[in-house]
Structure 1
Amino acid sequence: MRVAIAGAGAVGRSIAGELLENGHEVLLIDKAPTAISVERVPQAEWLLADACEITSLDEAALQRCNVVIAATGDDKVNLVVSLLAKTEYAVPRVVARVNNPKNEWLFNEAWGVDVAVSTPRLMSALVEEAVSVGDLVRLLRFSHGDANLVELTLPPEAALVGTRVGDVAWPEDTSLVTIIRGTRVLTPTNDDILEAGDELLFVAAQAREEQLEQLLSVQRQDAAGQV
């Protein structure tokens, strides 16, 4: 897979290193001569150019890329790069870094963004995920379909503990993709039994998150006990 990364700072170089280790082709683009540090990622291709300019992206042969990552420290630049990659070069997958959480609403399909990664939001989500049991935590937002990757750790008192996955009436536009149980990562089947402490990862439409949380919550059991 060929990947172009706009922004050769610490974030861009780190991403490049990981991708190269996994056997992918990587092109790093940056307009600042001081950012061109070939010796730091010698296996990558490097291009000194402004990724917001069509002529630069032509030189980068962006149409040959499977993925473009807009990883600069400037949200305006990341949006422009994303839009050009998608509309001018039909890049199949565009991933954009969000530096300021207030700008996150802009990073959507209209700007060519397939996946927006907000470092502040991700860090806060990971903190919440580590300490929260019974609360839905949003880990990642996908632009297409207005869907999110969300996580909930099933508390012991939850009504669904002991229930078969196939017997649960999950909300529409919601998919249980993984169950993390201790050190195991399970691909859910209808016959799997939900256990207390299971970390459940869903891809869910944002409009369904509240319904999903209510389904998995302790309050659901409390209400059932009163009936």
Structure 2
Amino acid sequence: MKVAIAGAGAVGRSIARELIENSHEVLLLERDIDHIDETAVPGATWVYADACELENLERAHLETFDVVVAATGDDKANLVVSLLAKTEFAVDRVVARINDPRNEWLFGEDWGVDVAVSTPRILASLVEEAVSVGDLVRLMTFRQGQANLVEMTLPDNTALAGRPVGKLELPRDAALVAILRGGRVIVPQADDPVEGGDELVFIVEHGGEEPLRKAIIVA
């Protein structure tokens, strides 16, 4: 897979290293000469250019890439990169970094964003997840806000204890995708029972979190 990353700061470099380790082809676009350091991400192709400028993206042949990641520290720049990638180069998947949670509402289909990642929101969600039992915690949003990844930790005395996954009465637009139990990650099968203390990870349609929470709590 070919991935172009706009922004070679700490975040962009970290993403690039992970992708290269997984055998993907990575291009880093950076407008700050002080951030250009080819030894920092061996194996990446570096381009000194402003990714908000159309001609620079044309020279990089952005239309040949499978994914564009807008990873700068400036939300305005990330939106511009996302819009250009989607509308001018028809990139199939655009992932954008949100620096200020107040701008989250902008990062959607209108600006060419397929997946928006808010670091502050993720950190806050992880804090909530660590201390919340019996509440749904949103971890991530997919596909222009059409679906969310959410987590719920079951109370130790849950009435669901021992009930098979196939017998859970979930809303139509919610799916249980993983059970975290102790140090294990369980891909749930219909006959697998849930237990008190389990962390249940769901994908649920936007707006379906409250029906899901009620279904689990009432059960």
TM-score tier (shorter): over 0.9
Once the two structures are superposed, what CA deviation does each residue of 1:106-153 show, in whole Å capped at 9, x if it has no partner?
Answer: 111221111111011100101111111111110001134621100001
Query: Given residue 166 of structure 1, which amino acid in structure 2 is its aligned partner?
Result: G
| Contact residue 150 and residue 201 of structure 1 kept, 8 A | yes
Give the partner amino acid of 1:74: D
- Work out whether residues 159 and 216 of structure 1, in 8 Å CA contact, stay in contact via their aligned partners in 2: no
Give the secondary-structure state (helix, strand or coil) at the position aligned to 2:86: helix
Tell me if structure 1 keeps the 8 A contact 2:108–2:145.
no
TM-score, length basis structure 1: 0.92
Matched with 2:38 is: 38
Give yes or no for contact 1:158–1:216 (8 Å, CA) kept in 2: no
CA drift at 1:157? 2.7
* Structure 1, 160-169 or 8-17: larger mean CA deviation: 160-169
In structure 1, the residue matched to 2:203 is 203
Q: 1:34 to 1:145 in 2, by over 3 A?
A: closer
8 Å CA contact 1:161, 1:195 repeated in 2: yes
Partner of 1:171: 171
Q: Which amino acid aligns with 1:117?
A: V
Query: Structure 2 matches for 1:150-169, cutoff 5 A?
Result: 150-169=150-169
Q: 1:4-63: per-residue Cα shift (whole Å, max 9, x none)?
A: 000011111111111111111110001121121112113110111111111111111111
Q: Which aligned pairs between 1:130-145 and structure 2 lie closer than 5 A? A: 130-144=130-144
* Residues 1-227 of structure 1: pairs in structure 2 closer than 5 A: 1-144=1-144, 146-217=146-217, 220=218
CA distance in 1: counterparts of 2:122 and 2:188, whole angstroms: 25
Q: Which runs of 5+ in 1 are unaligned?
A: 222-227
Give the Cα–Cα distance (whole angstroms) in 1 for the partners of residues 176 and 153 of structure 2.
Answer: 13
Give the 3-state SS of the residue equivalent to 2:97 in structure 1.
Answer: strand
- Whole-Å Cα distance in 2 between the matches of residues 67 and 197 of structure 1? 38
Partner of 1:225: none
How far apart are residue 158 of structure 1 and its match?
2.5
User: So what's the TM-score if we normalise by structure 2?
Assistant: 0.96
The AA in structure 1 aligned to 2:194 is L
* Range 156-165 or range 195-204, more displaced: 156-165
Unpaired runs of 5+ residues, structure 2, are none
Percent sequence identity over matched residues? 61
Q: Secondary structure at the match of 1:207?
A: coil
Q: Deviations over 1:192-218 (max 9, x none)?
A: 11111111111111211011111222x
Preserved CA contact (<8 Å) 1:172 1:208: no
Match of 1:224 in 2: none
Displacement over 3 Å in runs of 4+: none
- SS in structure 2 at match of 1:116: strand
Larger mean Cα displacement after TM superposition, 60-69 or 153-162: 153-162
Q: 1:159: Cα distance to partner?
A: 2.6
Q: Which amino acid aligns with 2:138?
A: R
* One-letter amino acid matched to 1:67: V
Alpha-carbon RMSD across the aligned residues, in angstroms, is 1.3
